[in-house]
Amino acid sequence: MKIYNTLSKKKEEFIPIEEGKVRMYVCGPTVYNLIHIGNARPMIVFDTVRRYMEHKGYDVNYVSNFTDVDDKIIKKAMEEGVDASVISKRYIEECKKDMAAMNVKPATTHPLATNEIGGMLDMIETLVEKGYAYKAEDGTVYFRTRNFKEYGKLSHKNLDDLQGGNRSLLVSGADQKEDSLDFVLWKPKKDGEPYWESPWCNGRPGWHIECSVMSKKYLGDEIDIHAGGEDLVFPHHENEIAQSEAANGKTFSRYWMHNAFLNIDNRKMSKSAGNFFTVRDISEKYDLQILRFFMLSAHYRSPLNFSAELMEAAKNGYERIVTSVGNLNYLLENASAEELKDGESALLEEAGGFASRFDEAMDDDFNTADAIAAIFELVKFANTHAGQESSKAFLKALKEEIMELSDICGLIVEKQEELLDADIEALIAERQAARKEKNFARADEIRKELLDKGIVLEDTREGVKWKRA
Ligand code: AMP
Ligand code: ZN
């Protein structure tokens, strides 16, 4: 399996630190608003990377943070007259709903910055002790960038070029820096802002330190993969490397993966530019599986332009797979022969070739565009060779192969039949009758059957109520 490493600018063979295990950290969103579909790109892309690695047999420890203390969160909290934690909690919940709707698996751990302040103070203290950080007069603690000799190795920037072009990075209090390249680890509080006590001043962390600390705590000093959108290469990831490697004295991450932007009219989609659609907006028009399909139809390192036409193309593509699975289900229900018939084994062997092609594409730096093309070929093959004469074993094997490859992409391609309200009511009536006859086994069976189809029952004094989960 080859991964393009931003650090070496090359595709490299993936060799994990510990055999059979992957330690992976993905920078998560700052939570002050509903996420937009640009934020969704890294979520979908790296969830797919994780799924593929799990398919290969790796045990993946996947950590993704929520940045829950930040200027934008504080500003929104002040506008609403509530505590910053009210805002961050609200949007973490909303973000988790969007992730679930896009079939993005929850991370092994989703740490929150505000729960990890102790670890941040420890790391900053270590950096001060080692001479990599210093306190300015106003209490701000800066990282002494020039002391970290390898600074710039990820973004391939030269320190002196940075020095010249660095004016835009100047922040308040920056006149107290020893060097304009130095960046903030800890900053003094302002009125009305959340703050924590520290040896330097009452204040809050700079943004970069949280990821160094959470990665260390949940994955160890050395990890396999660190990932995020390409805007994070500089300064965020460059600064994370400086902090972690200076503090721990070890290589921070072996592989650095970055997704290209999701654009709209060839400009990066972003909250600040105002040119965005939230995941919620898209869900009003499309099944979010189609959004997922759209994201995976391009290689993750290629820019992807969002447009109505491309979403329609994604819809057609996704539905082609769904229709094929539906067709196989129909044939399965009506097939008479159980065992493989003459010639079907050979066909299944041929079909296995599409799975190999899928793996080859994914092994080549997660080329999901080619991987989806392999699924399409398999679908075409199934549509050609599956028919009323096919055996159940043959149909089942074809269906399972399509389902497995789609599942690695996180695509749900088997549509559950939606129960109509009338069917639900009828089953509830049957359950009530069963209970009256003290046939509790049947009553429980019906409750479970409904639950499997996403219908939750609630027994109340006024009778049984139900809702779709
Ligand atoms: P933010 O909340 O802005 O820190 O972003 C969270 C994640 O989304 C980071 O990995 C960003 O790099 C990524 N991201 C933000 N905007 C886009 C975009 N338009 N296209 C792709 N990734 C993006
Ligand atoms: Zn980060």
| Cα–ligand 2 centroid distance for 211 (angstroms) | 5
Read off the pLDDT band of 170 (50, 70, 90).
very low
What spacing in Å lies between the alpha carbon of 271 and ligand 1's midpoint? Answer: 10
Pocket test for ligand 1, best of 65, 70, 88, 231 (most atoms within 8 A of CB): 231
What is the C-alpha to C-alpha distance for residues 175 and 165, in angstroms, rounded to an integer?
16
Give the number of the atom of ligand 1 that is nearest the alpha carbon of residue 27: 10
31 lines ligand 1 (CB under 6 A): no
Round the average pLDDT of the chain to a whole number and report it. 95
Query: Is the pLDDT at 417 greater than 80, yes or no?
Result: no
The residue whose CB lies within 8 Å of the most ligand 1 atoms, and thus the one to mutate among 27, 32, 35, 39, is 39
- Confidence (pTM): 0.90
* pLDDT > 70 fraction of the chain, expressed in percent and rounded: 97
Cβ of 203 less than 6 Å from ligand 1: no
Ligand index nearest the alpha carbon of residue 28: 1
Per-residue pLDDT, averaged over 49-72, amounts to 97
Say if ligand 1 is within 6 A of residue 27 CB: yes
How many other β-carbons are positioned within 10 Å of the β-carbon of residue 10? 10
Spatial distance between the Cα atoms of 259 and 286, rounded to a whole number of angstroms: 23
Please report the sign of the dihedral spanned by the C-alpha atoms of residue 160, residue 165, residue 166, residue 167.
positive
39 in ligand 1 pocket by Cβ < 6 Å?
yes
**Sheet strands side by side (includes 183-188):** 133-135, 141-143, 183-188, 203-205
**Across residues 325-347, what is the average pLDDT?**
96
Distance of CA 204 to CAs 142, 201, 234, Å? Answer: 13, 9, 22
When pLDDT is averaged across residues 121-150 and rounded to a whole number, the result is: 97
Contact 104, 47 (CB under 8 A): yes
Structure confidence at residue 418 (pLDDT): 74
- Residue with CA nearest ligand 1 atom 16: 38
What per-residue confidence (pLDDT) applies to 164? 60
Question: What values do phi and psi take at 354, rounded to 5?
Answer: -70, -35
Residues 6+ apart with CB under 8 A from 454: 416, 468, 469
59 CA distance to ligand 2 centroid (A)?
Answer: 22
Residue nearest to atom 12 of ligand 1 (CA): 229
In the structure, what pLDDT confidence band is assigned to residue 174 with cuts at 50, 70 and 90?
Answer: low
Bridge-partner residues for 184, per DSSP? 142
As a whole number of angstroms, the distance between CA 265 and CA 305 comes to 7
Which residues surround the ion ligand 2 when the cut-off is CB under 5 Å? 27, 211
